[in-house]
Amino acid sequence: MSRLHAALQDFDALDALAARPTALSRLDPRVKILATLGFILTVVSFDRYTVAALLPLALFPLLMAALGDMTLRSIGRTVLLASPFAVMVGMFNPWLDQRPLLSLLGYPITGGWVSFTSILIRFGLTVAAGLVLVASTGLPQICAGLERLGVPQVFTTQLLLLHRYALVLAHEASRMSLAHELRANGKAMPLAVYGPLLGHLLLRALQRAQRIHQAMLSRGFDGQLRHRPSLRWQRADTLFLALCGMGFALARQVDLAHLMGQLVLGWLR
Amino acid sequence: MHMADALLSPAVGATFWLASGATLAWSARQVRKDEREYLVPLMGVLGAFVFAAMMINFTIPGTGSSGHLGGGLLLSILLGPSAAFMVMASVLTVQALFFADGGILALGANLFNLGLCTCFVAYPLVYRPLLARAGAAPSTRRMSLMAVLAAVIGLQLGALGVVAQTQLSGISSLPLSTFLLLMQPMHLAIGLVEGLATAALIVFVRQARPDLLALPSAAYQTASARRVFPGRLMATLGAVALVTAGSLSWFASSQPDGLEWSIARTTRQAGLESPQSGLHAKLSEVQKSLSLLADYKFDLAAKPATPALAPALGQATPEAAWPAVDASTSLAGVIGGAATLALVLALGFVLRRKGSSAV
C-alpha cells in the first residue's frame, strides 16, 4: 500500500509542478518535446563503451530543472524508483565482457564494467529528461503540442481523459484494496476475491464513462475537448531550440570531458 | 517488462517508433470511423481503470508471490483491437512520462511489445477464432482458458520483442540464447498471471453485464465483422510486419551481436598472432559464465562442440574460423534468431493471406 501511495503522490506532485508559472513553462510545448527527443537521441547514439563523453549532456536536464524551479530531490527520487529493467539487464555486462578495456591507476577495468556504467548513465539521463519535460509542461500542454505535431486528436483526447480519471479511479482502487486488507487478517488477496473486487470497479468505471459522456454531450462535445491551450511559437522558442541543438551537436562531436581532463592534467603539470 | 531507453540504439528505437506510430495512426482512423459515439470517453476511463487495476495485487494460486493485471487483452475484449491499442498507447505514455517506466524513445518498442502483440496478434488470431463457435455461446471454462492462452502467447511475443530489440541495439552484452532463456520462462509466468487476472474479470463481467462482452463477439459472427475488422487491416498489418522484419534483418546483418562483437574486438587486439589462445580463452570464459545457467539444454548441447573445435581454430586463419566459432558458441542464438525472423515473416504472411481472402 505504501508504494501505491508514493506513486499517487508522485503523480500529484508532477501535476502540481507543471501548473506553476516558470521561465520554462512559458516556452511552447512543441519546443520542449522536440528538445527532449533530440536529447534522448543524442544520448543513445553514443557507442556502448562511452562513459565520460556522456557526462556533459547531464547539463541539459539540470539546466531545465533549474529553469523550471524544480528540486533535484523530487526528480532523483523518481529516477531511483523507476523500472529497474535496464539496470537488471546491464548487470550482466561486467560478468560477460571481461576484456580489460582501460587501466586506472594500474588496475585494469573490464569492458563490461565500462558498458554497465554507460548504461546506468544513459538510464539516468533519459529518465530525468522525460520527467523534467512532464514537470515543466504538464500533460494538457504536451497533448496540445503533440496534436500540433501531427498526433491524431482521438489519441490526445482519450489520453487527457485517462490522465484526468487515473487519479480518481486509483484512489477508488486503493480504498477498495485497503478495505479488503482490513478484513483479510493479513492474508493476501486470492483470485476468487480479486475478480469480483476489480470487476465492480470496472462496472463503476463503465457507468462513470457513460455519465461523463452524457455530461460532455450536454456541453457540446463533438469529438474534441474544449479549453485547449493556444500555442504561439515565439522568438524565444526558436532561440531555445537552436541553442539546444547546437549544444547536443557539440557534445556529440567533441569529447568535452576528455578535453576537460587534458586541461586539468596540463594545469597540474 | 518495459524496454528502456538505456538499452536501445537510435536505429532500433526509431524503427519501432515508426511501426507503432503507423499502427497508432491507423487505429485512430478506425476509432474515428467507429459508430459507437461514446467510444472516446469510454477509452479514457477504461485506460484509467487499467491504471488503477495495476495497483491491486492478488496472490498467484499455488505460489506465495503476487501479480497484477496488464490490461491489453481485457481492453481488446471490451473495446476491440484498434481502440484497445490506442488505450494501451496512452497507458504506456503516462507510465513513461510520469513513472519513468520505459522511456520516451522506448515507447515505440514498448507499444510494439505490450500493445501490438496482444491487441493485433494474440486477440484476433488466438482468442477470437478459438472462442467463436457458430451458434453456441462459449462456456465459462472455455472463455477463461482462451484468455489465459491468448495472454501467454501475447506476452511470449512481447518478450521476444524485448530480446530482439536489446540484441539489435547491442548495448547489453547478454548473448541471445541466455537472454531468451531468461526472458521467455519469466514471461510465461507473467503471461499466466495476466491470463488469470483477465479471466477472473471477464467471468465476472459475463455474469454481471453479459451485454458488454456480447459487443465485439456478436459483431464477429455477423456481417458487420467486416466493418470492425476488415481485410484491409490484415493487409496493412502484414505490410507493417514485413517492413519491420525486413528493416530489422538489415540491422541484424549490419550490427554484429554483442558477443560476436566482443570476440571480434579481442581477436583484433591480439594482433592476429595467436588466435588460438585469444579465441580459446574467450570461448572458455564465455562458457564459464554460461555454465552458471547450465540447467538449460542449449548450453549443455553447445558445450562438447568447443574442445573438438579448438585445434581446428589454431590452424585456420581467423577469417576462416569465424563461422565455426559462431556456430559453436551461439548455436542456440542462431536458431533463436532464425526462429524469431521466421515467426515474424510467417505472421506477416498469414495476415496477408487473411487480408487478401477477406477483400
Residues of B in contact with A93 (CB under 8 A): 172-174
Over the stretch B107-145, which tens digit does the pLDDT of each residue have? 999 999 999 999 999 998 888 888 876 667 788 888 899
In the structure grid, which three cell numbers stand for residue A260, read together? 576537460
Radius of gyration, alpha carbons of chain A: 23
Q: In chain A, how long is the greatest CA-to-CA distance? A: 77
Work out whether the CA dihedral B351, B356, B357, B359 comes out positive or negative. Answer: positive
Over the stretch B236-281, which tens digit does the pLDDT of each residue have? 556 655 555 555 444 443 343 433 343 344 434 333 333 344 444 5
Name the one residue in this structure whose C-alpha cell is 531555445.
A240
- Rounded-to-integer distance, Cα B293 and Cα B181, Å: 9
Over the stretch A138-159, which tens digit does the pLDDT of each residue have? 888 899 999 889 888 889 988 9
Average pLDDT over residues B57-79: 81
Helices of type H across A138-152: 139-148
* Higher-pLDDT residue of A19, B107: B107
Instruction: Give me the interface pTM, i.e. the ipTM.
Output: 0.88
**Which has the minimum average pLDDT: A165-174, B167-176, B186-195, B298-307?**
B298-307
| Local confidence band at A12 (pLDDT 50, 70, 90 cut-offs) | confident
Phi first, then psi: what are they for B68, rounded to 5°?
-145, 175
* Higher-pLDDT residue of A60, A23: A60
Q: What is the pLDDT of residue B238?
A: 60
Q: What is the pLDDT of residue A242?
A: 94
Distance (Å) from the alpha carbon of A269 to chain B's nearest alpha carbon? 32
Q: What is the pLDDT of residue A227?
A: 64
The answer to whether residues B23 and B120 touch, using CB atoms and an 8 Å cutoff, is yes
* Higher-pLDDT residue of B248, B146: B146
Asked if residue B330 has pLDDT above 50, the reply is no
Q: What is the pLDDT of residue B254?
A: 39
Average pLDDT over residues A75-89: 77
Asked if residue B304 has pLDDT above 50, the reply is no
Q: What is the pLDDT of residue A13?
A: 80
- Partners of A110 in the β-ladder: A100
* Higher-pLDDT residue of B300, A178: A178
Query: Which among A226, A242, A221 has a CA at the least distance from the CA of A27?
Result: A242
Say which of B5, B43, B170 has its CB closest to residue A158: B43
* Higher-pLDDT residue of B102, B76: B76
Which element (helix H / strand E) includes B187?
helix B176-208
Helices of type H across chain A: 2-19, 29-44, 59-67, 72-81, 85-90, 93-96, 111-137, 139-148, 153-183, 191-218, 235-253, 256-268
**Which has the minimum average pLDDT: A52-61, B263-272, B345-354?**
B263-272
- For chain B, give every domain's residue range: 5-230, 258-329
Residues of B in contact with A199 (CB under 8 A): 200-201, 204-205, 208
Asked if residue B40 has pLDDT above 70, the reply is yes
Over the stretch A211-244, which tens digit does the pLDDT of each residue have? 888 888 888 877 677 666 678 888 989 999 999 9
Q: What is the pLDDT of residue B74?
A: 93
- Residue A207 to residues A201, B41, B46, B71, B314: CA-CA distances in angstroms? 10, 11, 11, 19, 73
Distance (Å) from the alpha carbon of B245 to chain A's nearest alpha carbon? 22
Asked if residue B157 has pLDDT above 90, the reply is yes
Cβ distance A172 to B103 less than 8 Å, yes or no, reads no
Average pLDDT over residues B52-65: 76
Phi first, then psi: what are they for A108, rounded to 5°?
-75, 140
Cβ distance B201 to A202 less than 8 Å, yes or no, reads yes
Asked if residue B206 has pLDDT above 60, the reply is yes
Cβ distance B209 to A160 less than 8 Å, yes or no, reads no
Over the stretch B17-29, which tens digit does the pLDDT of each residue have? 999 999 999 999 9
**Which has the minimum average pLDDT: A128-132, A259-263, B84-88, B109-113?**
A259-263
What pTM value is reported for the model?
0.74
Q: How many CB atoms sit inside 10 A of residue A72's CB?
A: 13
Q: Which residue of chain B is at minimal alpha-carbon distance from A165?
A: B48
Cβ distance B6 to A160 less than 8 Å, yes or no, reads no
Which element (helix H / strand E) includes A48?
none
What amino acid is encoded at B56 in this protein?
I
In the structure grid, which three cell numbers stand for residue B265, read together? 574486438
Q: What is the pLDDT of residue B240?
A: 57
Average pLDDT over residues B35-62: 84
B293 in A contact zone (CB under 8 Å): no
What percent of chain B shows pLDDT beyond 70?
57
Cβ distance A190 to B59 less than 8 Å, yes or no, reads yes
Give the relative orientation of helices B210-221 and B176-208 as an angle to the nearest 10 degrees. Answer: 110
The answer to whether residues B104 and B111 touch, using CB atoms and an 8 Å cutoff, is no
Residues of A in contact with B104 (CB under 8 A): 36-37, 40, 126, 129-130, 133
Asked if residue A208 has pLDDT above 60, the reply is yes
Distance (Å) from the alpha carbon of A239 to chain B's nearest alpha carbon? 24
In the structure grid, which three cell numbers stand for residue A93, read together? 555486462
The answer to whether residues A228 and A200 touch, using CB atoms and an 8 Å cutoff, is no
Q: What is the pLDDT of residue A255?
A: 81
Q: What is the pLDDT of residue A14?
A: 81
Distance (Å) from the alpha carbon of B96 to chain A's nearest alpha carbon? 8
A85: number of CA atoms within 13 Å, CB side? 23
Residues of A in contact with B22 (CB under 8 A): none
| β-pairing verdict for A100-104 and B66-67 | unpaired
Asked if residue B295 has pLDDT above 50, the reply is no
Cβ distance A115 to B99 less than 8 Å, yes or no, reads no
Query: Which among A37, A237, A68 has a CA at the least distance from the CA of A137?
Result: A68
Radius of gyration, alpha carbons of chain B: 23
Q: What is the pLDDT of residue B239?
A: 61
> How would you class B215 by CB atoms within 10 Å of its CB: exposed for 0-12, middle for 13-18, buried for 19 or more?
middle
User: Per mean pLDDT, which of A6-10, B12-16, B254-258, B304-308 is the most reliable?
Assistant: B12-16
The alpha carbon of A174 is separated from its chain's Cα centroid by a whole number of angstroms, namely: 24
Residues of B in contact with A202 (CB under 8 A): 49, 53, 201, 204-205
Q: What is the pLDDT of residue B315?
A: 39
Which residues have CB under 8 Å from B209's CB, separation 6+?
Answer: A203, A206
In the structure grid, which three cell numbers stand for residue B321, read together? 574460423
Q: What is the pLDDT of residue B236?
A: 58
Q: What is the pLDDT of residue A67?
A: 82
Average pLDDT over residues A1-9: 64
- Rounded-to-integer distance, Cα B314 and Cα B205, Å: 67
The answer to whether residues A53 and A46 touch, using CB atoms and an 8 Å cutoff, is yes
In the structure grid, which three cell numbers stand for residue A212, read together? 461523463
Distance (Å) from the alpha carbon of A94 to chain B's nearest alpha carbon? 9
Average pLDDT over residues A194-201: 90
User: Per mean pLDDT, which of A57-61, B53-57, B291-295, B312-316 is the most reliable?
Assistant: A57-61
Mean pLDDT score across all residues of chain B: 69
* Higher-pLDDT residue of A109, B330: A109
Cβ distance A190 to B55 less than 8 Å, yes or no, reads no
Residues of B in contact with A190 (CB under 8 A): 58-59, 61
In the structure grid, which three cell numbers stand for residue B151, read together? 495472454
- Rounded-to-integer distance, Cα B156 and Cα B110, Å: 14
Q: Which fold has domain B5-230?
A: Arp2/3 complex 21 kDa subunit ARPC3 (1.10.1760)
Q: What is the pLDDT of residue B59?
A: 79
Average pLDDT over residues B31-37: 82
Which pairs count as long-range contacts for B184-189, CB under 8 Å and 24+ apart, including other chains? B184/B156, B184/B159, B184/B160, B186/B1, B186/B159, B187/B1, B187/B155, B187/B156, B187/B158, B187/B159, B188/B152, B188/B155, B188/B156
**How many contacts does A have with B, using Cβ atoms within 8 A?**
288
| Local confidence band at A62 (pLDDT 50, 70, 90 cut-offs) | confident
Query: Which 3-state string (H, E, C) describes B106-164?
Result: CHHHHHHHHHHHHHHHHHHHHHHHHHCCCCCCCCHHHHHHHHHHHHHHHHHHHHHHHHH
How many Å from the N-terminal Cα to the C-terminal Cα in chain B?
37
Q: Which residue of chain A is at minimal alpha-carbon distance from B267?
A: A99
Asked if residue A50 has pLDDT above 90, the reply is no
Which residues have CB under 8 Å from B114's CB, separation 6+?
Answer: B2, B70, B72, B88, B92, B158
Asked if residue B80 has pLDDT above 50, the reply is yes
Q: What is the pLDDT of residue B231?
A: 55
- Partners of A109 in the β-ladder: A102
Average pLDDT over residues B93-110: 87
User: In 3-state terms, what secondary structure has residue B299?
Assistant: helix
Cβ distance B204 to A199 less than 8 Å, yes or no, reads yes
Q: What is the pLDDT of residue B225?
A: 40
Cβ distance A10 to B99 less than 8 Å, yes or no, reads yes
Residues of B in contact with A79 (CB under 8 A): 100
